[in-house]
């Protein structure tokens, strides 16, 4: 009996291949979006892990020069001979690849890529082997491929790296081993120019890249929510349509329990199949997007991410679990209803609507509760978890509320309608709402996600570009290799440019927070370009008088410091007179007057300079400087170049965001199409009377199209505020909790208009085919309604 029953159930799919396709495609698309985003995240994280493992970043304290310049090898030897167990590292870039030079014998365990297992491996490494990840493009001899190395990173012996980089005898930093001898001379006696950086600070790219992944993860969750609505809808409809079959089978004596079990197994089988397709599809999506994501992360944060994808168990297993779990979630309600169905209950399509009507009250209460929770969290919550909870409550609450809002609007319109056709249109639209509501919820979430994410990305771009304008106010930046060269550059620039602004900094702890403190020269460049988040009336005057200090937002937030608060710097107490935005910086930053800086930190000298000069003279200046004082063009950075590069990075971010936007919209459009196709055949009995009373099939098709566009428009009207709320949560709640700075939110009405247009277009395209089918329904089918009520 099991086999016969199963084949009877499955025969439904044979007769309705389109429905089978809907179900499989919906599940596969939902899984694909989720797994695509997860794949990108997993790949990027694995790349960071490899980087962390190679570098031991975050594991060991380091010593660096206070002024950021390289130290000499003599300093290293002096420290070793004073009992300091430190190991030298030199860093640089070659052919776009990050080259790390390490010393294998002194490197603490975990720093070197792997134990050199043999004398010949050690001998090879110390005489010039370069370890690289697979597929690294480096035009050098003696490359040795090692899968444990981060992408686009090469590791060589320090001597080899010094040769390649042309930096004989230089060391960038010293890694401090965890276990130090009991007797060692103090650092201040041997190398007072060095500062110790705690393991947890310094080049910690994780907190920065996390920002990007948080956004991607949010996108992934939204995509999945959209997908789950689709799956839920598809399964619900499949069950609804098979009521007749179920009734017949039960009447023939098939036990209910067997039916439920068989249908559950059948769905799980379909879910496995669709899940595999979804994972494959997600792999394709991720494969297409990953190069752009990798380029974005590299450009924004200097984090190396492989541009190629590996099949990592973590994401395909999680994606399959999501597909199966999503199906189970979506099917449980349908199976539960099936198990409670009276033996000979009628199989009217209206059952769906009636059931929805009964659930409406519960749905309303749940939606209201979720929205209240969201509101409460927005007012009171703090932390990343609260931020995401807020996001979830807001989105699910809004989605659940959507059918109720739409029903209210349609009811209102229906009451005001004049004329028979209009009244019928409104009433029929309202009647169709339950069947379409899941697809409309998906559309709502897709549109809200698009509005939210694009608002966030665009706000980020505007802010960052403004920030670059502020920070890169000088037209040209020059790095000096030695203090002597620094003097030459300063003198030369004073003669040949409008102004020269030395950039000098030291790293110290302010209010217990690692902070870079800068000594700024009083110049209009700063006064004209810098904007403060908050400040006293005359921040620049106070700062340059030597009584005030400017700090960045991170320092203010982490230290709980406000305008007017005193801050101890070295031996003085300065008043905080301004707080400025400082995006993408993991540590604190502060600015004091140049003269005060030199008194407090006499050992530091500026090694970088900003030069004010009219942009068209920059090239001449650089050429002249190379000829007269021998500073190579390689030591200069043209402001225009940095900005172009930064904007290029953002364009890539946009590529990723746009692609994901289009995908989610396409998925939502697909959901509408499938819902309408299913409804079309079910609605023949409702349309037949209208046809019989004189409405043409063409008119009915047209109205069908109008109806869908109207519903999409109404959904869009709800999506706009929801999307903006989403953007606000991402920018003002999640970002602050995760990274310590708040991004200002900008609005982009034209973008929203375009998006609305696309959404309507997607809805119209989705409705077109069902409308045409409707317009071409054979009159005989319509007639049959009157002769034979199903």
Contacting residues toward another protein, per CB under 8 A: 73, 77, 80-83, 85, 103, 105-106, 115-119, 122-123, 126-127, 157-160, 162, 168, 179-184
Smallest distance from another protein to CB 175, Å: 15
Nearer to another protein, 117 or 253 (CB): 117
Q: Is the dihedral of CA 476, 578, 591, 737 positive or negative?
A: negative
Smallest distance from another protein to CB 181, Å: 4
Q: Is the dihedral of CA 190, 193, 197, 202 positive or negative?
A: negative
Q: What is the DSSP letter of 106?
A: T
Smallest distance from another protein to CB 125, Å: 11
Selection from 98, 155, 106 nearest residue 132 by Cα: 155
Q: How far apart are CA 468 and CA 530, in angstroms?
A: 10
Smallest distance from another protein to CB 83, Å: 4
Contacts of 408-414 spanning 24+ positions with Cβ under 8 A: 409/714
Q: How far apart are CA 309 and CA 294, in angstroms?
A: 11
Smallest distance from another protein to CB 85, Å: 8
Smallest distance from another protein to CB 141, Å: 16
Nearer to another protein, 84 or 219 (CB): 84
Nearer to another protein, 125 or 464 (CB): 125
Give ∠ CA 270-272-278 in degrees, rounded to 5: 100
CB atoms within 10 A of CB 691: 18
CB atoms within 10 A of CB 409: 17
Q: How far apart are CA 442 and CA 665, in angstroms?
A: 9
Nearer to another protein, 122 or 384 (CB): 122
Nearer to another protein, 179 or 537 (CB): 179
Smallest distance from another protein to CB 640, Å: 40
Smallest distance from another protein to CB 108, Å: 12
What are the backbone angles phi and psi of residue 118, rounded to the nearest 5°?
-140, 160
Nearer to another protein, 106 or 636 (CB): 106
Nearer to another protein, 159 or 546 (CB): 159
Nearer to another protein, 162 or 664 (CB): 162
Q: How far apart are CA 712 and CA 671, in angstroms?
A: 12
CB atoms within 10 A of CB 537: 7
Q: Are 94 and 165 in contact (CB under 8 A)?
A: yes
Strands (E), 212-315: none
Q: Give the side-chain half-sphere CA count within 13 A for 683.
A: 27
Nearer to another protein, 106 or 678 (CB): 106
Nearer to another protein, 17 or 181 (CB): 181
Smallest distance from another protein to CB 483, Å: 25
Smallest distance from another protein to CB 182, Å: 6
Token digits for 196?
């110790």
Q: Which helix (H) or strand (E) segment is 355 a member of?
A: helix 350-380
Token digits for 16?
């309705």
Give ∠ CA 88-94-97 in degrees, rounded to 5: 90
Smallest distance from another protein to CB 116, Å: 6
Q: How far apart are CA 553 and CA 740, in angstroms?
A: 8
Strands (E), 470-547: 476-479, 499-510, 513-520, 534-535
Q: How far apart are CA 256 and CA 643, in angstroms?
A: 68
Nearer to another protein, 185 or 776 (CB): 185
Cα 735 to chain center, whole Å? 11
Nearer to another protein, 125 or 492 (CB): 125
Nearer to another protein, 71 or 511 (CB): 71
Smallest distance from another protein to CB 527, Å: 49
Smallest distance from another protein to CB 60, Å: 15
Selection from 480, 500, 470, 463 nearest residue 589 by Cα: 470
Q: Are 56 and 260 in contact (CB under 8 A)?
A: no
Smallest distance from another protein to CB 295, Å: 35
Nearer to another protein, 180 or 494 (CB): 180
Q: Are 716 and 759 in contact (CB under 8 A)?
A: yes
Question: Of all residues in the chain, what percent are helix, strand and coil, respectively (each to 5)?
Answer: 65, 15, 25
Give ∠ CA 219-225-229 in degrees, rounded to 5: 145
């Amino acid at each position: 009996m099991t086999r016969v029953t199963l084949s009877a159930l499955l025969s439904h799919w044979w007769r309705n291949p389109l429905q089978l396709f809907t179900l499989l495609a919906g599940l596969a698309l939902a899984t694909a979006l989720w797994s695509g985003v997860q794949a990108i995240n997993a790949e990027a994280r694995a790349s960071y892990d490899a980087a962390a493992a190679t570098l031991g970043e975050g594991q060991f304290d380091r010593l660096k020069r206070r002024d950021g310049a390289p130290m000499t090898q003599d300093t290293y030897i002096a420290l070793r001979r004073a009992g300091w167990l430190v190991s030298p590292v030199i860093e640089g870039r070659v052919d776009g690849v990050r080259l790390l030079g390490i010393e294998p014998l002194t490197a603490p365990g975990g720093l070197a890529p792997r134990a050199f297992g043999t004398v010949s491996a050690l001998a090879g490494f110390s005489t010039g082997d370069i370890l690289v990840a697979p597929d690294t493009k480096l035009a050098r001899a003696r490359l040795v491929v090692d899968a444990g190395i981060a992408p686009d990173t090469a590791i060589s012996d320090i001597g080899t790296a010094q040769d390649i980089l042309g930096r004989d005898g230089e060391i960038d930093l010293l890694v401090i081993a965890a276990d130090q001898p009991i007797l060692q001379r103090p650092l201040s006696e041997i190398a007072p120019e060095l500062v110790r950086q705690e393991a947890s600070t310094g080049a910690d790219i994780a907190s920065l890249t996390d920002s990007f992944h948080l956004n991607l993860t949010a996108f992934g969750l939204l995509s999945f929510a959209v997908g789950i609505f689709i799956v839920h809808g598809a399964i619900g409809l499949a069950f609804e349509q098979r009521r007749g079959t179920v009734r017949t089978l039960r009447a023939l004596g098939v036990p209910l329990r067997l039916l439920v079990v068989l249908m559950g197994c059948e769905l799980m089988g379909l879910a496995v199949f669709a899940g595999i397709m979804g994972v494959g599809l997600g792999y394709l999506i991720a494969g297409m997007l990953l190069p752009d994501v990798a380029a974005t992360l590299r450009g924004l944060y200097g984090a190396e991410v492989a541009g190629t994808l590996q099949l990592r168990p973590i994401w395909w297993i999680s994606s399959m679990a999501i597909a199966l779990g999503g199906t189970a979630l979506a099917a449980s309600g349908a199976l539960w209803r099936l198990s409670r169905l009276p033996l000979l209950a009628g199989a009217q399509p209206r059952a769906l609507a009636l059931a929805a009507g009964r659930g409406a009250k519960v749905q309303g209460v749940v939606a209201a509760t979720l929205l209240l929770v969201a509101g409460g969290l927005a007012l009171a919550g703090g932390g990343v978890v609260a931020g995401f909870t807020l996001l979830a409550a807001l989105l699910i609450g809004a989605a659940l509320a959507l059918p109720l809002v739409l029903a209210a609007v349609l009811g209102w319109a229906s009451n005001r309608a004049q004329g028979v056709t209009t009244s019928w249109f409104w009433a029929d639209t309202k009647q169709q709402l339950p069947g379409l509501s899941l697809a409309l919820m998906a559309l709502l979430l897709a549109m809200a996600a698009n509005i939210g994410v694009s608002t966030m990305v665009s706000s980020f771009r505007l802010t960052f570009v403004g920030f670059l304008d502020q920070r890169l106010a000088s037209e040209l930046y020059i790095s000096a290799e030695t203090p002597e060269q620094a003097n030459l550059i300063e003198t030369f620039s004073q003669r040949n440019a409008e102004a020269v602004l030395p950039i000098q900094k030291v790293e110290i702890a302010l209010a217990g927070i690692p902070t870079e403190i800068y000594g700024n020269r009083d110049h209009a460049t700063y006064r004209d370009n810098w904007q403060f988040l908050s400040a006293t009336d005359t921040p620049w005057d106070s700062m340059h008088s030597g009584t005030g200090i400017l700090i960045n937002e991170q320092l203010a937030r982490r230290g709980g410091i406000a305008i007017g608060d005193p801050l101890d710097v070295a031996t003085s107490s300065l008043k905080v007179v301004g707080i400025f935005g400082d995006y993408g910086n993991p540590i604190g930053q502060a600015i004091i007057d140049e003269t005060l800086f030199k008194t407090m930190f006499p050992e530091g000298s500026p090694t970088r300079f900003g030069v004010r000069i009219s942009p068209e003279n920059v090239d001449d200046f650089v050429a002249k400087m190379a000829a007269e004082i021998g500073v190579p063009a390689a030591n200069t950075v043209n402001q225009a170049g940095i900005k172009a590069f930064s904007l290029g990075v953002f364009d890539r971010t946009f590529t990723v965001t746009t692609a994901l936007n289009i995908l989610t919209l396409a998925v939502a459009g697909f959901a509408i199409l499938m819902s309408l196709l299913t409804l079309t055949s079910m609605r023949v009995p409702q349309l037949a009377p209208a046809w019989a009373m004189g409405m043409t099939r063409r008119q009915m098709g047209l109205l069908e199209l109008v109806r869908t566009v109207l519903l999409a428009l109404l959904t869009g009207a709800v999506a706009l505020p929801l999307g903006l709320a989403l953007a606000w949560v991402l920018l003002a709640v999640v970002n602050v909790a995760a990274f310590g700075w708040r991004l200002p939110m900008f609005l982009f009405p034209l973008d929203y208009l375009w998006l609305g247009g696309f959404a309507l277009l997607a809805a119209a395209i989705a409705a077109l085919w069902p409308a045409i089918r409707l317009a071409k329904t054979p009159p005989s089918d319509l007639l049959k309604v009157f002769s034979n009520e199903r």
